[in-house]
């Protein structure tokens, strides 16, 4: 798929996001350890949901495809999606004993704890019928998060969505989003991710995630470079060392916006949402990467992920007073 075609499909502003929507719980006030907390605050969470929230703030029209638990917490998630302007018509209630994806996340860096509950997570019960019912031919671009590949039946459903998108010439941009606690082994993750990558138009991940795909530590960048020869877009994030993007036969190296973070979570979701949103707003790739980096920097300075996602005006104001390193 050509780079021009990918950009044109993004600009049509008709997105399907496949992945999880859940609940994040934060001890209050910021800086409190979980075991010492007396109060907690709840927010929408989950990588696909967070990305959708950010993309909506850029004017994106987004539908999310996932499953939530058939209980008050599942309804809470739907209400939150509604609040943030994310279309949830394709979200189904899972009727079995599954539970919503649930995370307790501390707003602190020192001895930071994130406690994730993913056993029998409802989003992992998405199946092929959900893909068929979504009629993905109605969408112009699909954003897939890799957590949907971690277990069955969601794994087969996500791969099925990729196959159908390929048949229909619909671009798919995948955020690797590797969470080891959901996979049965690293080798399985490598095998399945490689199947998905070979059907993706774009791939976004960090150095550790690309190393998983490569099957060896410190081999991620070499893998990403080779992948760029057959994939339209590859973004290799290097944490505090910035990122390198392979697009349209060019290699684009970028730094980061140094900030004093409150927490280590949410940056990747903000990056993806703001990057796609910036292209939607007709920014060039190198500009979109700067805006995405700024969005990631802003999010880690605030409590929560979904509520911390900045709009374009907030990002541009931040960029006036902060310089990329």
| Phi, psi angles (nearest 5°) of residue 254 | -130, 150
- pLDDT band, very low/low/confident/very high, at 97 (cuts 50, 70, 90): confident
Tell me the whole-structure pTM to 2 decimals.
0.97
Kindly give the pairing relationship between strand 172-175 and strand 141-145: parallel
- Look up residue 86 and give its DSSP letter: -
Cβ count near 57 (within 10 Å): 22
CATH superfamily for 3-21+47-98+123-321 is Ribokinase (3.40.1190.20)
Q: What average pLDDT does the chain have?
A: 96
Q: What is the pLDDT of residue 14?
A: 98
Q: Do the beta carbons of residue 23 and residue 101 sit within 8 Å?
A: yes
Q: What is the pLDDT of residue 276?
A: 98
Q: Do the beta carbons of residue 268 and residue 143 sit within 8 Å?
A: no
The mean per-residue pLDDT over the stretch 162-175 comes to: 98
Q: What is the pLDDT of residue 131?
A: 98
Give Dmax over CA atoms of the chain in angstroms: 54
Q: What is the pLDDT of residue 325?
A: 85
Tokens 């997105």 belong to 15
Distance CA 63, CA 149 (A): 19
Going from N- to C-terminal start, the domains of the chain cover 3-21+47-98+123-321
Q: Do the beta carbons of residue 80 and residue 33 sit within 8 Å?
A: no
């Amino acid at each position: 798929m050509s780079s021009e075609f990918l950009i044109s499909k993004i600009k049509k502003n008709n997105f399907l996001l496949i992945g999880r929507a859940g609940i994040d719980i934060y001890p209050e006030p910021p800086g409190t350890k979980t075991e010492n907390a007396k109060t907690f605050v709840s927010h929408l969470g989950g990588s696909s949901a967070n990305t959708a929230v950010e993309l909506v703030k850029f004017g994106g029209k987004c539908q999310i495809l996932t499953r939530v638990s058939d209980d008050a917490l599942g309804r809470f998630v739907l209400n939150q999606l509604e609040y943030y302007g994310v279309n949830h018509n394709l979200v189904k209630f899972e009727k079995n004993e599954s539970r919503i994806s649930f995370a307790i996340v501390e707003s602190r860096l020192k001895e930071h704890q994130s406690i994730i509950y993913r056993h029998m997570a409802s989003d992992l019960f998405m199946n092929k019928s959900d893909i068929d019912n979504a009629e993905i031919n109605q969408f112009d671009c699909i954003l897939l998060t890799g957590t949907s590949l971690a277990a069955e039946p969601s794994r087969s459903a996500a791969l099925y969505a990729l196959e159908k998108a390929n048949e229909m010439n619909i671009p798919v941009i995948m955020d690797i989003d590797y969470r080891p606690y959901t996979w049965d082994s690293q080798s399985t993750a490598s095998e399945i991710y490689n199947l998905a990558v070979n059907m993706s138009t774009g791939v976004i991940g960090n150095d550790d995630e690309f190393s998983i795909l490569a099957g060896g530590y410190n081999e991620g960048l070499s893998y990403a470079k080779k992948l760029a020869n057959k994939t339209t877009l590859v973004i290799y994030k290097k944490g505090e060392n910035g990122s390198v993007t392979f697009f349209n036969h060019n290699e684009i190296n970028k730094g980061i916006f140094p900030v004093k973070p409150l927490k280590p979570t949410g940056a990747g979701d903000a990056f993806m949402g703001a990057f796609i949103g910036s292209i939607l707003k007709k920014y060039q790739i190198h500009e979109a990467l700067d805006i995405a980096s700024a969005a990631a920097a802003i999010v880690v300075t605030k409590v929560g992920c979904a509520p911390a996602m900045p709009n374009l005006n907030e990002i541009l104001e931040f960029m006036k007073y902060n310089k990329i390193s």
